[in-house]
């Protein structure tokens, strides 16, 4: 038998966070208010911190043609890579807030967003810290890789 271990830290008090992390959380909470989610009414916010101190924000964008919609994480990630392809991503924070849904625990990114995040992490050869949070709890992962064991990697597309 083999196993994967996933390490993460659970933080119950925001006072334990650095001012940088607090800032990142606040920005994710702010940007989710501007999500375009008229169909699900499930607003998600994602904030990224780049190596030069820039913050890039994203929220989910839906469409009447449902599959056109895109998650907050990929909105922020693709905007980052479109505008600053050479800057490394240091951290990403993800959250939702709603009175209509049960958000007793932090939301976690979908499989597609994990795949996108992980490819950028591998490309930059430096870990991207992931903070999943709600009002009461923060789950901190040291690297995106921990969120997607056995992922499909771009090196599989290299021919023999």
Give the active site residues: 73
Out of 22, 79, 87, 107, name the contact with ligand THU by CB under 6 A.
Answer: 107
Told to check if 44 binds ligand THU by CB under 6 A, we report yes
Considering only 7-15, 82-90, 106-114, 115-123, which stretch makes contact with ligand THU by CB under 6 A? 106-114
Closest distance of CB 160 from ligand THU, Å: 36
Cβ-based nearer residue to ligand THU, 20 or 110: 110
φ, ψ at 147 (rounded to 5°): -90, -5
- The 10 Å Cβ neighbour count of residue 97 is 16
Told to check if 62 binds ligand THU by CB under 6 A, we report yes
Cβ-based nearer residue to ligand THU, 44 or 53: 44
From the list 126, 127, 99, 114, the residue with the least C-alpha distance to 153 is: 114
Total chain residues near ligand THU (CB under 6 A): 15
SS3 category, 77: helix
What torsion, rounded to 10 degrees, do the Cα atoms 33, 10, 80, 51 define?
130
User: How far is Cα of residue 138 from the mean position of the Cα atoms in its chain?
Assistant: 13
Cβ-based nearer residue to ligand THU, 16 or 36: 36
- C-alpha–C-alpha distance, residues 90 and 88, integer Å: 6
Edge-to-edge, what's the strand order for the sheet holding 138-141? 9-11, 138-141, 129-133, 89-96, 44-50, 55-59
Q: Which of residues 1-30 bind ligand THU (CB under 6 A)?
A: none
Told to check if 73 binds ligand THU by CB under 6 A, we report yes
- Which residues here bind ligand THU, judged by CB under 6 A? 37, 40, 42, 44, 60, 62, 69, 71-73, 94, 107, 109-110, 113
């Amino acid at each position: 038998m083999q196993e994967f271990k996933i390490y993460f830290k659970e933080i119950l008090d925001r006072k334990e966070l650095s001012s940088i992390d607090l800032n990142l959380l606040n920005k994710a909470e702010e940007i989710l208010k501007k999500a375009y989610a008229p169909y699900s009414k499930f607003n998600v916010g994602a904030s990224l911190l780049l190596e030069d101190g820039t913050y890039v924000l994203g929220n989910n964008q839906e469409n009447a043609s449902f599959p056109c919609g895109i998650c907050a994480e990929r909105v922020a990630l693709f905007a980052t890579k479109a505008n600053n392809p050479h800057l490394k991503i240091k951290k990403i924070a993800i959250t939702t807030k709603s009175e209509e849904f049960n958000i007793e625990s932090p939301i976690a990114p979908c499989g597609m967003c994990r795949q996108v995040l992980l490819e950028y992490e591998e490309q930059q050869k430096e870990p991207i810290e992931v903070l999943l949070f709600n009002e009461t709890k923060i789950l901190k992962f040291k690297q995106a890789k921990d969120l997607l064991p056995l992922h499909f990697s771009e090196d599989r597309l290299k021919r023999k």
